[in-house]
Every structure is written in structure tokens, then in C-alpha cells.
Chain A
């Protein structure tokens, strides 16, 4: 979509430039420095067999830097401003570590890298066209920023105005290309030499992966990539020196431990507390030590879904027990105000859920880094103590301190509290079991039925939910046993439609080498933002099972417009105008088949679902992506 426009003038200019560049390459003899390139003599330009000697381009050195950082993949939609990096990746680097993923949209490339990180725990590289490419990518960059996910973007740009030849060069160039996303990235730079690139690339990686983790951008000049390395240029690749995440102040941690142990009803409110599998383990240990209630917003796989201390209700926590809390510890939770307050919508007054005297404590790396423009930090919430630190890094210290303070008497109190919480969880589970029967045999199919039909066939396998963690109206969260870190990948961060389909492909790619079964519960509206990711999954042989939540509408928006029509005393029945995705109905099975997927549907009878899942899983086991178009109830 952002390739050079194919008008005669541009094409002619491109050919002229190519001829000029080729002459320049031969003329400069392509010698780089001895440490990096080895020697390439002038007579070596044509060898005895008549073959042209390879040119050591700037982008070759850039690839050496990229390889040193351990990137497995680079996701990209092709663009001429990074064509040299592209070529170096596939030829000089032999398309391995990183391997190029062919993406059909820059937003897809970034969202694929977002989903990949959630499973693999390390960033994917993204190559991107400078202006139009980054503009396409911006929405996904914002999601990664809100979700605290590191994505490393290399953005091609024509910095030198004297070298802009074609219309494409001219309109695809910006003076400060990263400005477009600066409000929602952690750092950016525009290197002006190869040495500068090497330092900035390693620095970018280090900044992106230091909590709070976030996307970073490097603007890479087109000619810095394309021209041969200057002869004798001394180049080295700096060693990556990872920064240890900040641990909470010891005195503060001791005080928090004391308050938790002495509390009558302590609560752990968690948002992105578990950065790695270790975080999940620590949270379970802390909660069990204290027999504390856990409110998990499932932005990360923080806590097992069916754990008796988990006060979850499908799409998020059941906050009813907040009013009992005398101590609330928030871990990496930017939206604490929403935990301790209810209401406040449509101009109505909010009310505090807290009982008088309740103490609020916070451990968060977000206190170390803030941006102004995009206000994802939420309402300001007063707390009694805030530690500016990484929660996961601080938990071992907190656990040790809690262990030290627990006495036999306190343990007996904790056990009674734990029993009460477990009973509340059991009651919720039984209520959900009854709720799931409502509309069990209805057509369109209920989302509870889909979740349970799937669970029956995946529960004994090594599975991973690669879509939004609250998919199918939270029915998977209510019934599936999420207890491994890769069992779900959290949410989008930005609550943006269009994230889930590409993120699921990225996460499924990461799962592939571990032999895990990737399950994507896919809403129809989300898929139609970037349906081209279906092709990317098929092309790169990424096995995954996608089951559509096809309610033929942006149903949340239907309800929103209905609500406003009601407030305005106008026709509520007209609110599918502009919100429904029907007339014609989209045939998602045909869409997927056209891009190389095994697919069935539309499936409207719930009795057909189980056998269809069996057939689709057989396709996935053969290494194919498979899609089932299940037509569902609205919610």
C-alpha cells in the first residue's frame, strides 16, 4: 500500500537513481572497516567467474546490530524507505534471526509484535515506512504503549532533501518522523551515522525492555542504510547491558508487610503485576500466605482464574468485597480510582466503596514514568503509601517480610478468612453454571455454550488463549482453568477494536515453537479491521484455532447508542443503523478459506459446534490455521 507509486516519472527516476547508486557502489569499492566487513579490494568487484562482489552496505552493519539483540522476527509491510534493511535481512542475514514476517498493514505488523511479546517475553522488531507507514501503525503503537509492551520500530526516512527524487520520496518524508508517536512511545532517536545507529539501537532495546516497558522508535535514514560503509570507518556493536528493574525501598516494603499481616481483610488489586511467569508464582504465594482476596483486571496472566482467592466475575473482578477491605495493596494498577469508587457515569456522582479508615498502598513502576497528552493514567487516587518500583521485582522481598511477621494466631485468622473467600468463589461458580444453561440450545449460539464446547476439547491439551482475555463475554474466564502464564495474554491496553486478530497471530507464532495449541476467540468487528492477518498466518504456517464470536454488529456500540437514544427520548429501535454488520452478512469461513485457512461456517445450530471443533482441531494439528464461523447471541 505504500510502495512507490507506479507512475512513469517515478519509475524512471527510480531507475536513474538505481544506476547512479550502482556506479557509486562500484566506485567507492565497498570497503568497510577491517573489524566488521573484512577486506573487499577494488579488483574484487568482479571475480574470476564474472560474478559481482557483494557490497557491504550500511544496512548490513545495521543487521549485525539487530542480530546482536536477539530478535527472532521482524514484522513489516514493504516500503522503499527501508528497502536496504529489507534486502540485508533476507540476503545478508539469510532471513533468519530475524525472519521477515510479511504483513499486509503496518498496524498489523505492530499488533503482531504486541501479541508475540505477551507470550515470548521479548520484543519483536518492526520495520516501517516513515510517514504513511507510521501513520498506519500509530493505533497499534498506542495499544502497546497503554499495555506497557515493548515494541522496537525502525522507521525509514529520507532525511537529506537533496536526495529526495521521486514524488514518493518527497511525500513520504518528515523532518521529525517520530514526532507522530512521541506522545505514546518511551524514547526515540534519529541516528546520523552507523556508529550512532549502533548505540541508539542498543539503547532503544534497553529502554524499551526496562520497566515500565513501552515502545521505542528509531528513524533510520534511507541512505545511511543503502550506501556502502565508508572505508576504514571504525564500527563496533555495544554490548546490551540490561537494567535490573527497580525494587521497592526496604523500609517501605517492611511497612506494607506489617499492614498486610495485621489487616482483617487485605486485598490485592492487580493490573499488570505479573510481567513474567515468576510474577504469577509470587502473586499466588503472597495471596496464599495472607489468604487475601485478589481483584485481577486480567490485563496480564496475574492469578489463576479458578483459584478460590480470586474474586473474578468473567470479564473482570467482582468488586463487591472492596467495602470489607481495611488494606488494599495495588500492584502495577494505574486505574485504582475505579477500584475504590463506583458510578460516576453519565454525569452522576460517584461514591466510594471504601469503608472509613481503609488504607491504600501502591507499588508501581508507572510512578517512574509519565506522559502528559494521552491520559491513560486515569483519575488521581490518594494513597497512604506509594512505592515507585517494579511490583514483580519487589514481591520476593515482600513475601519474605510477610513470612517473618506471620504468627500462629494470625495464621488461624487467615485460614478463616480464606475459607470465607473460597465459599464466595464456589457460590459464584455454581451461579455461573446455572447461568450457562440459559439459552443453552438457542440459535444463534450462546457464548457460554461456545466456551464450554471448546473447553471440553482443549482442557487436556497444552493450550493458550491468544485473543483478549475477556473474550466470549468472559465465559472462558469463568470456566476454563487459567493457571499457566501463557494461558492468556491479557488485553489490548487501549481497548481498541482491531487489536485482537493481529495480536492473536503474533502470540500463536510465539506458541508454535513450544507446540502449544493457540485458541483465538475472535469478534467479527475486530477481525474486519485487519483481515489480512489471516493471510499472514497462513503464509507463515502459524497453526491456530479461531472461533468467531459473530454477533453481526458492534454490539457494545449498539447498546451505547440505545442508551443515548433513551436519554434523549428518541427511537431506540433505530440504533442498529451504523452499528450492525449485516445486509449482507459477512461469510467469515469463505474469507478465511480465500487466504489459505481451513474454515467452516456459518454455524448457527449449537449441536453442530462440537463436531466442527473436532474437525478444525485436526487441521490445526496438521499445522494449519483453522476458523469456525459461529453465529452468536448479541452478548
Chain B
């Protein structure tokens, strides 16, 4: 348990140490490289994983985009380091999802 907690803290530290990126450029690059078809326009997930607000480190993010596992296509060097920084900044900028309890439509379905 402590081990997992330490990893999570380390991840957050690394995440905070991610190089600054341009959010607007990241939003454009996310669309231009076709990420939206699986992850949706704001990285909320769909056929692919949810990326918005997802606390993985920048380096893990870069490694996965370039050489992913599973069905995601490998981007290799198709995305530049600058674009990856911008996309990462964009995904981190997406506001947190609302609490389900705050959405009346989600409380009428029981």
C-alpha cells in the first residue's frame, strides 16, 4: 500500500515537472493528429482511454504515444516533442468532470 502511495506521489512530482506547453496549440495538435477519433475532442475517452486529468507522468505519456501497447497506433516520431508538450498541457487543462450527484439526469436513472 505504501509502495503504491509513494509511486503516486512520485508520479505527481514528475507530472508537475513536465515542461510547459501551449494549451491552444495542444488542442489543435490533438485534433490534427487524429487523437480525437478515439479519445474525444477534450480527451474524455471513448474507444480509447480517458486522458483528460489523467495523472500519468509526462515521460510515460511520451513513451506511450511513441510506442503504445494494445490497439493504439504507434506514433513514433510523427509527433514532435513540442507537440507532445503542448498536447500534455492541453489535457491537463481540461476541467475536472462534475460530481455525478450534481447532475439531476444521473440521479433519475436508478
Contact = CB atoms under 8 A, between A and B. Distances in A.
Interface of A: 433-442, 444, 446, 452-453, 455-456, 459, 473, 479, 553, 555, 558-559, 562-563, 565-567, 569, 571-573, 575-576, 633-635
B37 A438 contact: no
Contacts of A437: 97-100, 103, 106
B41 A442 contact: yes
Closest A-B pairs by Cβ, 10 of them = A566-B73, A635-B46, A439-B44, A438-B44, A437-B97, A452-B105, A558-B37, A633-B40, A573-B33, A438-B97
B108 interface: yes
Interface stretch (B5-13, B17-25, B74-82): B74-82
B69 to A, nearest CB: 12
Contacts of A566: 72-75
The listed residue with most B CB atoms (<10 A of its CB), out of A436, A438, A455, A553, is A438
A573 B105 CA distance: 36
A390 to B, nearest CB: 35
Given A440-B97, A456-B108, 15 more contacts: A435-B45, A436-B100, A441-B98, A442-B40, A446-B40, A456-B105, A479-B109, A558-B34, A562-B38, A566-B74, A573-B34, A575-B34, A633-B40, A633-B44, A635-B46
Nearest to A557: B37
Given A437-B100, A558-B34, A575-B34, A565 B40 contact: no
B67 to A, nearest CB: 11
A569 B76 CA distance: 8
B38 A559 contact: yes
Contacts of A563: 71, 73
Given A563-B73, A566-B74, A444 B41 contact: yes
B32 interface: yes
Nearest to A632: B40
11 contacts: A433-B109, A437-B100, A439-B40, A439-B44, A440-B98, A473-B46, A479-B109, A562-B38, A563-B73, A633-B40, A633-B41
A441 B27 CA distance: 17
A633 B39 CA distance: 9
B42 interface: yes
B4 interface: no
Interface of B: 32-34, 36-38, 40-42, 44-47, 50, 52, 71-76, 78, 97-100, 103, 105-106, 108-109
B84 to A, nearest CB: 14
Nearest to A610: B105
Contacts of A562: 34, 37-38, 73
Nearest to B106: A433
A438 B41 contact: no
Contacts of A559: 37-38, 47
A459 B108 CA distance: 10
Nearest to B29: A573
Given A437-B106, A473-B46, A634-B36, A569 B41 contact: no
Contacts of B47: 559, 635
A459 B47 CA distance: 27
A456 B100 CA distance: 15
A569 B73 CA distance: 9
A510 B17 CA distance: 62
A442 B44 contact: yes
Nearest to B102: A437
Contacts of B45: 435, 438
Contact of B37 (A459, A473, A634): A634
Contact of B109 (A434, A439, A455, A569): A455
A323 to B, nearest CB: 20
Contact of A446 (B37, B44, B73, B99): B44
A635 B40 CA distance: 7
A607 B32 CA distance: 27
A559 B48 CA distance: 10
B100 A433 contact: yes
Contacts of A479: 109
The listed residue with most B CB atoms (<10 A of its CB), out of A434, A439, A446, A455, is A439
Nearest to B108: A456
A473 B45 CA distance: 12
B50 A453 contact: no
A407 to B, nearest CB: 35
Contact of A633 (B46, B76, B105, B106): B46
A559 B33 CA distance: 12
B72 A453 contact: no
A550 to B, nearest CB: 14
Contacts of B103: 437, 440
